[in-house]
Amino acid sequence: MNFNETKKGKNVSKYITTPIYYVNGEAHIGHAYTTFIADAMTRYEKLKGEDTYFLTGTDEHGQKIEESAQKNNKPTQEFADEISATFKDLWDEFEISYDKFIRTTDEEHKKGVQKAFEVMYAKGDIYKDFYEGHYCVSCETFFPETQLIDGEFCPDCGRSTNIVKEESYFFKLSKYEDALLKHYEQNPNFILPRSRANEVINFVKGGLRDLSVTRTSFSWGVKMPASLNDDKHVMYVWLDALLNYITALGYGSDEANMKYWPASTQFVGKDILRFHAIYWPAFLMSLDLPLPRTIGAHGWWTRDGEKMSKSKGNVIAPKEVADVYGVENLRYFMLREVPFGQDGDFSQRAFIDRINSELSNDLGNLLNRIIGMSGKYSDYEIDSVDVEKYHKKELDAMHAILDSLDDFIEGLQTHRYLEELWKLFAIGNKAIEEYAPWVKMKEDKKDEALATVALVANVLAKASLMLSPVMPKTSAIIADALNFEISSQSYKELIVDKKLLKLFNIKKVPPLFPRIEEPLMAEAPEAEPNKKEVQKQEAAKKEEDSLIEIGQFFETSLKVGTIIEAEEVPKSKKLLKLQVDLGEGDLRQVVAGIKEFYSAESLVQTQVCVVANLKPAKLMGMVSEGMLLAAKDEDGLCLVRPEKPKKAGTPIG
Ligand code: MSP
């Protein structure tokens, strides 16, 4: 079997999945985010005319769910039914365009899992042994002692683990180590964003232990296949859960929809990447099935900079936000706010700012302006006949942007996609300012004035088509005002073939995005930070923050400086006071902690690299107006200097 088998070249279909959500609590904003992205991607593919299948659902087995049901004094199935329904109802209310909502308690799913188990067993990939280890019920995962915090706590969630010893069936994960590494190497888009692939590769390189895939300590799970005649065991919840992606297509029952396999994009949160990028492909290899094209791992959402948790009472229910601000605005905000893969913060301020400036100003006002102008100048009639003649430059710029959008979707970069799309509105707004149709009307150049109005109508039409995966209803309203429908047909005409709108009458619409002045929801309660959680969060944040955009790098002004004077700071073991020339009369006092490594006189008339745009700081009462670049290791410190003399003030970068 070639695990790289994709459907490229053939009649491509797109299968997009969300993780299946645990039914131990109701949906929060993080769940909504994954679902929104997957929904937007599916709608995007549909717009392009692709045959798509979109799966979401609920993960209902395992000790965690059993315990939650007990806490709520409910039979487990009844409890699962109730919570699962809250997810389904929410997605229905949000008009999520899923094709199937799977539940792992569905009979067909269970049959499919049993069949997969039998196939793996028959292949010799599953064997029986004993397992003893530290088990985290919350994460439904065993952890080796070396990974535990303080020998007891789960490295993923910080909760305490239990020692569990039981007979278990094991999956030969170790057998697939090399095949997995080869797959990552040959398929750089298998894990997106690529920055996340390294942690997976390193984990696999660190050696894979066979995976315990059954449990005897509880019974709320898929039973063993009858052929194994071993009723004591139930399936490990992650084996059961991961297989949902194929059982939903009928694996093990009616396999007609297996034509959608392999998945094109499987969205997961970063916390469950390991399961999807290691276990899942190994299971698929064992089943002789091709691997998904991409596992897209997104970051976590915090609220006003704080991790959300029930105990802090700061969890945001997506419905609460949608009821107040509108679900489409929420979709836009979440997909625009964070670079895919990075953590995101939900704050009402940031949300309101985007609604007011991007949705209301850039988009809403543009539509209202051309409705107003066309009413005044041409009785609402819009004709694209002269757009090419007067606005070739704008049309070319717009089409170049539209052509570039597909790449952002391929890379799952929704924030870049929307950022680029917004450049269209900038083109429209700028054209109105630059060509001032009202002046042209006064100058008796009606053709030109109407061409500008028609240009903007076309900008809005094309932009609304491309916005429709993210804001389907809003886009449909704009399209309706512009007398066309969002469909793969109009996509083909307006985007692929770059055609313009035909002669039509524009419709008036009420303002799409009324400005919001004040937060509409109660603010999050001030929470007492839990120390362990904060430490973990800070470590995770540090790791995330270590990657920067090139623009961030260029925010630092680095310059070559020549040291003119240097003297020791009295009573300080470490500090030297330097006067550094940064060219063009910019003389800076820099107080540097380098006295143990350099004498003052040896520095005079030598060159150094200076961080030139730091806020001045005071060291031992002296102002320091810059920082010198230096490298320090166990042998000491050395200054970083230009290889050849350069003029003082020469920028570095
Ligand atoms: N049931 C498993 C997934 C099995 S998939 C075969 C599970 N469920 S979950 O309900 O706990 O989480 C579902 C998804 O929500 C995960 O992708 C997780 O990363 C995501 N999120 C949970 N909290 C989140 C945030 N605060 N922010 C963003 N996503 C978050 O794991």
Q: What CATH number should be reported for the domain holding residue 593?
A: 2.40.50.140
Strand order in the sheet with 211-212: 141-143, 126-136, 162-171, 211-212
- The reported pTM is 0.79
Domain boundary among 466, 487, 505: 505
Report which protein residue has its CA nearest ligand 1's atom 5. 19
Centre of ligand 1 from the C-alpha of residue 27, in Å: 10
Kindly state whether residues 501 and 575 are assigned to the same domain. Answer: no
pLDDT of residue 151: 83
Per-residue pLDDT band for 8 (boundaries 50, 70, 90) equals very low
Cα 260 to ligand 1 centroid, rounded to whole Å:
24
Question: Do 489 and 354 sit in the same domain of this protein?
Answer: yes
For the chain, the average pLDDT equals 93
pLDDT exceeds cutoff 70 at 388: yes
At 144, the pLDDT band (50, 70, 90 cuts) reads confident
Q: Would you state the pLDDT for residue 311?
A: 78
| 564 and 483 fall within a common domain | no
Of the listed ranges 179-193, 509-523, 534-548, the one predicted with least confidence: 534-548
- Kindly provide the residue ranges of all beta strands, DSSP E only, lying in 146-227, ordered along the sequence: 162-171, 191-192, 211-212, 214-215
Q: What is the pLDDT of residue 448?
A: 98
Q: Do residues 397 and 498 make contact, with C-beta atoms less than 8 angstroms apart? A: no
* Tokens found for residue 460: 């809005």
Percent of the chain clearing pLDDT 70 (strictly above) = 95
What's CA 591's distance to the chain center, in Å?
42
Task: Pick the last residue of a domain from 470, 505, 540.
Answer: 505
Q: What is the pLDDT of residues 488-537, one digit of tens each?
A: 999 999 999 999 999 999 999 999 999 999 999 988 776 555 555 666 67
Looking at the structure, tell me whether residues 491 and 574 fall in a common domain. Answer: no
Q: Relative to the CA of 242, which ligand 1 atom is closest?
A: 6
- Best of 26, 34, 68 to mutate for ligand 1, by most ligand atoms within 8 A of CB? 34
Q: Using the predicted structure, report yes or no on whether residue 142 has a pLDDT greater than 70.
A: yes
CA of 229 to the centre of ligand 1 (A): 34
In percent, the amount of the chain with pLDDT more than 90 equals: 78
Q: How far is CA 247 from CA 104, 105, 142, 281, 583, in A?
A: 9, 12, 25, 15, 69
Would residue 635 count as lying in a domain? yes
Considering the domain architecture, whether residues 501 and 362 belong to the same structural domain is answered as yes
Question: 483 and 621 share a domain?
Answer: no
pLDDT for 286: 98
What DSSP line would sit under 553-569, residue for residue?
Answer: HHTS-EEEEEEEEEEEP
Model confidence band, residue 312 (pLDDT cutoffs 50, 70, 90): confident
Q: Is residue 487 assigned to a domain?
A: yes
Higher-confidence residue: 6 or 340? 340
In a domain, 594, yes or no: yes
pLDDT for 317-361, tens place per residue? 999 999 999 999 999 999 999 999 999 999 999 999 999 999 999
Question: Per-residue confidence at 6, pLDDT binned at 50, 70, 90?
Answer: very low
Tell me: do 501 and 590 sit in the same domain.
no
Domain check: are 393 and 490 in the same one?
A: yes
Question: Are residues 358 and 483 located together in one domain of the fold?
Answer: yes
Reported as a single tens digit per residue, the pLDDT across 611-650 is 999 888 887 778 889 999 999 887 888 999 999 889 999 9
CA 300/CA 332 separation, integer angstroms: 17
Domain annotation covers residue 584: yes
pLDDT (mean) for 236-258: 97
Specify whether 456 is located in the same domain as 578. no
| pLDDT score, position 542 | 66
Ligand 1 centre from 307 Cα, in Å?
14
Using the predicted structure, report yes or no on whether residue 206 has a pLDDT greater than 60: yes
Tell whether 370 is covered by a domain: yes
Give domain status of residue 66, yes or no: no
Residue that finishes a domain, picked among 505, 540, 569: 505
Per-residue pLDDT at 4 exceeds 80 = no
Q: How confident is the model at residue 573 (pLDDT cuts 50, 70, 90)?
A: confident
Could you tell me if 359 and 430 lie in one domain?
A: yes
Query: Does residue 564 belong to any structural domain of this protein?
Result: yes
Q: What does residue 308 show for φ and ψ, rounded to 5 degrees?
A: -85, 135
Residues 455 and 353 in one domain: yes
- How much distance in Å is there from the Cα of 29 to the middle of ligand 1? 10
| Residue 7, pLDDT score | 43
Number of domains in the chain: 2
Strand-pairing partners, residue 165, are 132
One-letter amino acid of 207:
G
Ligand 1 atom showing the smallest separation from residue 19 Cα: 5
- The whole domain housing 384 covers 347-505
Considering only CA atoms, which residue is closest to atom 23 of ligand 1? Answer: 30
